[in-house]
């Protein structure tokens, strides 16, 4: 009885405090809002027509596309963005041969140590090296980029909500301000040094538009339109973020197949074991 | 075990006879989860989640130990170690995703297990101790899961740790020194990561110990059942093995299939994208929320937005943050008092018409709290979480005690046998006698 009485008192007390001191003032503010409307970014990303080759449970990598994406990363993105969890040797997974990887790695300069005097030098990359950062440290990165820090791109497609489509959309999001939205927020303007991009959470992004038509010349002859490059770099970064993505999905089918098989037999044996223990129509007596 | 008609263990081959004399471990298992444990014959599928929870505990321990072999609890390298596991360790990606989603599934089955307890009043005499131990296990699980989420040292790890450890700072007088002592500094840092790793490794074994006590306590009165009528005679029960091993077995297969779908095709669906960004103490995420399984309690914490003041004087009696902390911990601690708050002699919700309505309202209320805990801290979510929080406390502390007083329950079946077969022989009505 004491517990119940104490419980009722505590329950009424905490509910009263909540309703009178928290809900009441909050509800008043809610009923009479004073907050102005603000310019909101696009929360809905766009997707390429037909989707990506790696979409869905049956997706696969398009190695041609990954190699094109790698070319975009190398020739455009890598000027400012690192890819620190990916090693050159990983390029073998997107269809390069061992010799090609060796040559590709050697075309990058990575930080090293002079074997004679131990001084810090640049040396050609080896397959075991990770992709080098374009900047020595964060201070240098910010100094070169109007105090903005270009994020590492390894996990970018996982580190944003709907990240794959986010990257694809952002690359093509440098549009004009919608006149209707501009009319709603007349004070809105993009500050100097920033660029309007409706897919960026802050609307104004420090990164200038990059994928200008024809900025890379694809070695496989594909036409380098903005849309094409956006698709390719998105595919490459999806691979960089999770190289095991396709292996994971393929393993999944095998595991689920096995589990369904085992579950089916489990269910049949359950039925057999319980036969006669449950009431069925026409049952008269138990076993 | 507890019933006179329970099968008794009889070792057949000489080795097992020898073993039974020296160390009767097979006998223990036989009586605990074998043919020697009589279980009500009418259990429905809500009774499968206890075994499933046990499975996921072991699963988490196994995957966790493998992950610990490749992890390093140091703020400089922890985030990169996770990537190392994802990329370079053979099937490391599988271990990582299985462990992270395994935690989610563990909580999923635990919530269903707990709600089974709410509906069928599994906490009532003579099973209070099972319930109390269960609440202890749940609290240990929450601590373990929270510390585990800090280990990848992503943005949500860091900021989640900061918010949750900050709760201790709300305690009057000793709060701040206590917080600094627990965290090992003024904000989560390398010391925090190290102690969290150590505790995250230790606590699952404490949980295992508590689970053994939970199952031991269960075997004293035996399992409850959907009618809430106690076992009276042999025809009310079936041996755990093979009846419930078969039922649990196929159901485990079903749940594992669902689990595999999540692990292999949507492994990040239950997590937060933010945690794939390395922790940065200088950059606060736009929205700090815990993992989904903490949402209801996080919603309760955030519901308290106003200080408790004496009106028109401006004197603050209790700050809003402390009110939130009291309510959040109170919301779980009150489960300890449940056996004494709900005094209805009828156990099963199926025979309690009034309780049943309030039970389903409470389920909706919990669903709302689950949603609101992950929502942005803006209107209308704040007002909604305040109403849902108020109902949560009213349900347990006011509605349950009153309903159990005024409700007129429906007629109970005479026995489990009657509930299953529709009839029973009155001549066979003899009370069960505990064997020992």
Most A-contacting residue of B82, B88, B273 (CB-CB within 10 A), to test interface: B273
Among B121, B122, B157, B223, which one carries the catalytic annotation? B223
Overall number of domains in chain B: 2
Within this chain, do residues B45 and B170 fall inside the same structural domain, yes or no?
A: yes
Instruction: Write the burial class of residue A83 (CB in 10 Å: 0-12 exposed, 13-18 middle, 19+ buried).
Output: buried
User: How many residues are present in chain B?
Assistant: 436
- Cβ distance A263 to B253 less than 8 Å, yes or no, reads yes
- Residue B228 placed within a domain: yes
> Complex ipTM, two decimals?
0.90
Within this chain, do residues B310 and B371 fall inside the same structural domain, yes or no?
A: yes
- Cβ distance B261 to A252 less than 8 Å, yes or no, reads yes
Closest partner CB to A26 (pick from B308, B386, B422): B386
A253: closest chain B residue by CA:
B264
Q: Which helix (H) or strand (E) holds B211?
A: helix B190-219
In whole angstroms, what is the distance from residue B213 CA to residue B124 CA?
18
**Using an 8 Å Cβ cutoff, are B324 and B304 in contact?**
yes
Q: In A, which residues are within 8 Å of B422 by CB distance? A: 279
In whole angstroms, what is the distance from residue B83 CA to residue A85 CA?
7
**Using an 8 Å Cβ cutoff, are A15 and B390 in contact?**
yes
DSSP for B50-74 reads HHHHHHHHHHHHHHHHHHHTT----
Shortest distance between the Cα of B292 and any Cα of chain A, in A, equals: 16
- Cβ distance B323 to A17 less than 8 Å, yes or no, reads yes
In 3D space, the residue among B170, B143, B182, B165 whose CA is nearest the CA of residue B324 turns out to be B170
A134-217+235-242 belongs to CATH 1.10.760.10: yes
Residue B234 bears catalytic tag: no
**Using an 8 Å Cβ cutoff, are B362 and B390 in contact?**
no
CATH number of the domain that residue B260 is part of: 1.20.810.10
- Cβ distance B243 to A277 less than 8 Å, yes or no, reads yes
**Using an 8 Å Cβ cutoff, are A198 and A185 in contact?**
no
**Using an 8 Å Cβ cutoff, are B409 and B352 in contact?**
yes
- Given B250, B269, B288, which residue is the final one in a domain? B269
- Cβ distance B421 to A11 less than 8 Å, yes or no, reads no
Residue B291 bears catalytic tag: yes
Number of other residues whose CB lies within 10 A of the CB of residue B326? 18
Residue B219 bears catalytic tag: yes
* Two tokens, residue B395: 């349900």
Omega of the bond leading into B242 within 30 degrees of 0 (cis): yes
Q: In B, which residues are within 8 Å of A33 by CB distance? A: 379
Chain B interface includes A270 (CB < 8 A): yes
**What letter would DSSP give residue B278?**
B
* Two tokens, residue A96: 């390069």
Mean pLDDT, 10 residues at a time, chain A of 287 residues: 86 87 78 60 81 94 96 95 96 95 95 91 94 94 92 95 94 86 79 88 89 91 93 97 96 97 96 81 47
Shortest distance between the Cα of A248 and any Cα of chain B, in A, equals: 6
* Two tokens, residue B424: 């029973």
A273: closest chain B residue by CA:
B243
- Residue B3 placed within a domain: no
Shortest distance between the Cα of A196 and any Cα of chain B, in A, equals: 20
Q: What is the dihedral of CA A142, A148, A153, A155, to 10 degrees?
A: 120
Residue B223 bears catalytic tag: yes
**Using an 8 Å Cβ cutoff, are B154 and B275 in contact?**
yes
* Two tokens, residue B181: 């002592």
Within this chain, do residues B246 and B318 fall inside the same structural domain, yes or no?
A: no
For position A68, what pLDDT does the model report?
Answer: 96
Within this chain, do residues B388 and B256 fall inside the same structural domain, yes or no?
A: no
In whole angstroms, what is the distance from residue B145 CA to residue B55 CA?
16
In whole angstroms, what is the distance from residue B360 CA to residue B89 CA?
46
In 3D space, the residue among B311, B408, B303 whose CA is nearest the CA of residue B354 turns out to be B408
Closest partner CB to B265 (pick from A7, A30, A252): A252
For position A41, what pLDDT does the model report?
Answer: 64
Shortest distance between the Cα of A28 and any Cα of chain B, in A, equals: 10
Within this chain, do residues B213 and B263 fall inside the same structural domain, yes or no?
A: yes
**Using an 8 Å Cβ cutoff, are B394 and B385 in contact?**
no
Closest partner CB to B421 (pick from A155, A249, A279): A279
B252: closest chain A residue by CA:
A263
Enumerate helices (H) and strands (E) in chain A, giving the number of each.
9, 4
In whole angstroms, what is the distance from residue B403 CA to residue B392 CA?
15
Positive or negative CA dihedral for B427, B429, B430, B435? positive
- Cβ distance A85 to B87 less than 8 Å, yes or no, reads yes
For position B319, what pLDDT does the model report?
Answer: 86
Angle at B363 between CA B357 and CA B366, to 5 degrees: 140
* Two tokens, residue B246: 């078969």
Shortest distance between the Cα of A83 and any Cα of chain B, in A, equals: 12
For position A285, what pLDDT does the model report?
Answer: 47
Within this chain, do residues B132 and B200 fall inside the same structural domain, yes or no?
A: yes
Chain B interface includes A260 (CB < 8 A): yes
Q: What are phi and psi of A174, to 5 degrees?
A: -80, 70
> What's the 3-state SS for B286-333?
CCCCCCHHHHHHHHHHHHCCCCEEECCCCEEEECHHHHHHHHHHHHHH
**Using an 8 Å Cβ cutoff, are A177 and A167 in contact?**
no
- What are the CA-CA distances from residue B185 to residues A13, A235, B144, B177, B179 (Å)? 36, 42, 21, 10, 8
- Residue B242 placed within a domain: yes
In 3D space, the residue among B124, B386, B108 whose CA is nearest the CA of residue B255 turns out to be B108
Residues 206-245 of chain A whose Cβ lies under 8 A from any Cβ of chain B: 241-244
In whole angstroms, what is the distance from residue B4 CA to residue A256 CA?
43
Chain B interface includes A246 (CB < 8 A): no
DSSP for B138-190 reads HHHHHHHHHHHHHTT-BHHHHHHHHHHHHGGGGSTTTHHHHHHHHHTSSS--H
Mean pLDDT, 10 residues at a time, chain B of 436 residues: 84 94 94 93 95 98 97 96 96 97 97 97 94 98 97 96 92 91 94 97 98 96 94 92 95 97 96 94 90 95 87 83 93 95 93 96 97 87 92 96 92 89 61 45
In whole angstroms, what is the distance from residue B353 CA to residue B43 CA?
21
- Cβ distance B250 to A25 less than 8 Å, yes or no, reads no
Number of other residues whose CB lies within 10 A of the CB of residue B389? 32
Which residues, other chains included, contact B165 with Cβ-Cβ below 8 Å and sequence gap of 6+? B179, B182, B183, B188, B192
For position A280, what pLDDT does the model report?
Answer: 55
- Residue B283 placed within a domain: no
Q: Give the strand pairing for B237-239 and B38-40.
A: antiparallel
In whole angstroms, what is the distance from residue A46 CA to residue A164 CA?
10
In whole angstroms, what is the distance from residue B274 CA to residue B374 CA?
14
Within this chain, do residues B403 and B254 fall inside the same structural domain, yes or no?
A: no
- Residue B12 placed within a domain: no
State the average pLDDT for chain B: 93
Q: In A, which residues are within 8 Å of B257 by CB distance? A: 256, 259-260, 263
Question: Which regions of A99-150 does DSSP assign to beta strands (E)?
Answer: 109-113, 120-124
- Cβ distance B261 to A25 less than 8 Å, yes or no, reads no
- Cβ distance A249 to B264 less than 8 Å, yes or no, reads yes
- Cβ distance A256 to B308 less than 8 Å, yes or no, reads no
- Cβ distance B386 to A19 less than 8 Å, yes or no, reads yes
In sequence order, what are the beta bridge partners of B39? Answer: B238
- Cβ distance A8 to B277 less than 8 Å, yes or no, reads no
CA B46 to chain centre: 14
Question: Which regions of B218-259 does DSSP assign to beta strands (E)?
Answer: 237-239
Closest partner CB to B260 (pick from A12, A158, A252): A252
Within this chain, do residues B239 and B317 fall inside the same structural domain, yes or no?
A: no
Q: In A, which residues are within 8 Å of B341 by CB distance? A: 3-4, 7
Q: In B, which residues are within 8 Å of A158 by CB distance? A: 268, 273, 276
- pLDDT per residue over B111-144, tens digit each? 999 999 999 999 998 999 999 999 999 999 999 9
Residues 1-40 of chain A whose Cβ lies under 8 A from any Cβ of chain B: 3-4, 7-8, 10-12, 14-15, 17-19, 21-27, 29-30, 33
**Using an 8 Å Cβ cutoff, are B205 and B216 in contact?**
no
In whole angstroms, what is the distance from residue A137 CA to residue A123 CA?
18
- Residue B14 placed within a domain: no
- Residue B287 placed within a domain: no
Chain B interface includes A261 (CB < 8 A): no
In whole angstroms, what is the distance from residue A144 CA to residue A139 CA?
9
Among B104, B235, B291, B350, which one carries the catalytic annotation? B291
Instruction: Write the burial class of residue A16 (CB in 10 Å: 0-12 exposed, 13-18 middle, 19+ buried).
Output: exposed
Shortest distance between the Cα of B274 and any Cα of chain A, in A, equals: 5
In whole angstroms, what is the distance from residue A164 CA to residue A272 CA?
48
Within this chain, do residues B265 and B319 fall inside the same structural domain, yes or no?
A: no
Among B113, B124, B232, B247, which one carries the catalytic annotation? B247
B3: helix, strand or coil: strand
Shortest distance between the Cα of B247 and any Cα of chain A, in A, equals: 6
| Domain with B395 in it | 304-347+353-408
**What letter would DSSP give residue B240?**
I
- Cβ distance A7 to B305 less than 8 Å, yes or no, reads no
Q: What are phi and psi of A238, to 5 degrees?
A: -65, -40
Shortest distance between the Cα of A214 and any Cα of chain B, in A, equals: 32
B129: helix, strand or coil: helix
For position B216, what pLDDT does the model report?
Answer: 95
- Residue B7 placed within a domain: no
Within this chain, do residues B259 and B325 fall inside the same structural domain, yes or no?
A: no
In whole angstroms, what is the distance from residue A50 CA to residue A45 CA?
15
Most B-contacting residue of A5, A7, A40 (CB-CB within 10 A), to test interface: A7
For position B430, what pLDDT does the model report?
Answer: 47
In 3D space, the residue among B329, B65, B285, B255 whose CA is nearest the CA of residue B161 turns out to be B285
- Count of CA atoms in the C-beta half-sphere (13 A) of B366: 18
Within this chain, do residues B230 and B373 fall inside the same structural domain, yes or no?
A: no
């Amino acid at each position: 009885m004491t517990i119940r009485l104490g419980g009722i008192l505590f329950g009424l007390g905490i509910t009263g405090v909540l309703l009178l001191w928290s809900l009441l003032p909050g509800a008043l503010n809610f009923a009479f809002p004073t907050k102005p409307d603000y310019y909101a970014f696009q929360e809905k990303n766009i997707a390429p027509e037909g989707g990506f080759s790696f979409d869905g449970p049956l997706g696969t990598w398009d190695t041609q596309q990954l190699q094109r994406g790698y070319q975009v990363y190398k020739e455009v993105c890598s000027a400012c963005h690192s890819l620190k969890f990916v090693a050159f040797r990983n390029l073998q997974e997107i269809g390069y041969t061992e010799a090609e990887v060796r040559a590709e790695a050697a075309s990058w300069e990575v930080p090293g140590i002079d074997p004679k005097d131990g001084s810090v030098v640049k040396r050609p990359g080896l397959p075991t090296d990770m992709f080098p950062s374009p900047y020595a440290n964060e201070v240098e990165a910010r100094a070169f980029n109007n105090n903005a820090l270009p994020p590492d791109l390894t996990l970018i497609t996982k580190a944003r909500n709907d990240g794959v489509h986010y990257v694809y959309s952002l690359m093509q999001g440098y549009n004009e301000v919608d006149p209707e939205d501009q009319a709603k927020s007349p004070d809105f303007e993009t500050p100097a040094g920033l660029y309007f991009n409706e897919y960026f959470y802050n609307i104004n992004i420090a990164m200038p538009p990059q994928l200008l038509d024809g900025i890379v010349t694809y070695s496989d002859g594909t036409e380098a339109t903005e849309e094409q490059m956006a698709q390719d770099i998105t595919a490459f970064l999806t691979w960089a973020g999770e190289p095991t993505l396709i292996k994971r999905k393929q393993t999944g089918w095998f595991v689920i197949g096995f589990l369904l098989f085992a579950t089916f037999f489990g269910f049949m044996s359950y039925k057999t074991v319980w036969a006669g223990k449950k009431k069925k129509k026409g049952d008269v007596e138990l076993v | 075990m507890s019933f006179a008609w329970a099968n008794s263990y009889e070792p057949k081959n000489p080795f097992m006879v020898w073993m039974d004399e020296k160390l009767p471990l097979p006998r223990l298992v036989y009586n605990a989860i074998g043919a020697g444990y009589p279980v009500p014959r009418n259990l429905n599928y809500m009774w499968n989640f206890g075994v499933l929870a046990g499975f996921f505990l072991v699963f988490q321990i196994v995957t966790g130990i493998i992950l610990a072999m490749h992890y390093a609890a140091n703020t400089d390298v922890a985030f990169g170690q996770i990537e190392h596991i994802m990329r370079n360790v053979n099937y490391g990606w599988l271990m990582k995703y299985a462990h992270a989603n395994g935690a989610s599934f563990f909580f999923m089955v635990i919530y269903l297990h707990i709600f089974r307890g709410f509906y069928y009043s599994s906490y009532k005499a003579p099973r209070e101790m099972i319930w109390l131990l269960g609440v202890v296990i749940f609290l240990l699980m929450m601590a373990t899961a929270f510390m585990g989420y800090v280990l990848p040292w992503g943005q949500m790890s860091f900021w989640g740790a900061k918010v949750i450890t900050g709760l201790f700072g709300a305690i009057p007088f000793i709060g701040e020194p206590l917080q600094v002592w627990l965290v090992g500094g003024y904000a989560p840092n390398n010391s925090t990561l190290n102690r969290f790793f150590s505790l995250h490794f230790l606590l699952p074994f404490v949980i295992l110990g508590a689970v053994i006590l939970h199952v031991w306590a269960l075997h004293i009165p035996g399992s409850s059942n959907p009618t809430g009528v106690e076992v009276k005679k042999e025809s009310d029960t079936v041996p755990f093995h093979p009846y419930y091993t078969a039922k649990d077995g196929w159901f485990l297969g079903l749940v594992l299939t669902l689990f595999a779908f999540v692990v292999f095709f949507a492994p990040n669906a239950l997590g937060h994208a933010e945690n794939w960004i390395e922790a940065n103490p200088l950059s606060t995420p736009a929205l700090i929320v815990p993992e989904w399984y903490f949402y209801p309690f996080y919603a309760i914490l955030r519901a308290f937005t106003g200080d408790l003041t004496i009106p028109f004087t401006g004197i603050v009696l209790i700050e809003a943050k402390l009110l939130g902390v009291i309510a959040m911990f109170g919301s779980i601690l009150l489960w300890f008092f449940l056996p004494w708050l709900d005094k209805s002699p009828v156990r099963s919700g199926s025979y309690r018409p009034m309780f049943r309505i309030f039970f389903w309202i409470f389920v909706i209320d919990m669903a709302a709290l689950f949603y609101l805990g992950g929502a942005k801290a803006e209107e209308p979510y704040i007002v909604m979480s305040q109403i849902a929080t108020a109902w949560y406390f009213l349900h347990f502390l006011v509605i349950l005690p009153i309903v159990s007083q005024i409700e007129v329950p429906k007629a109970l079946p005479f026995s489990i046998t009657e509930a299953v077969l529709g009839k029973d022989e009155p001549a066979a009505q003899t009370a069960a006698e505990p064997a020992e």
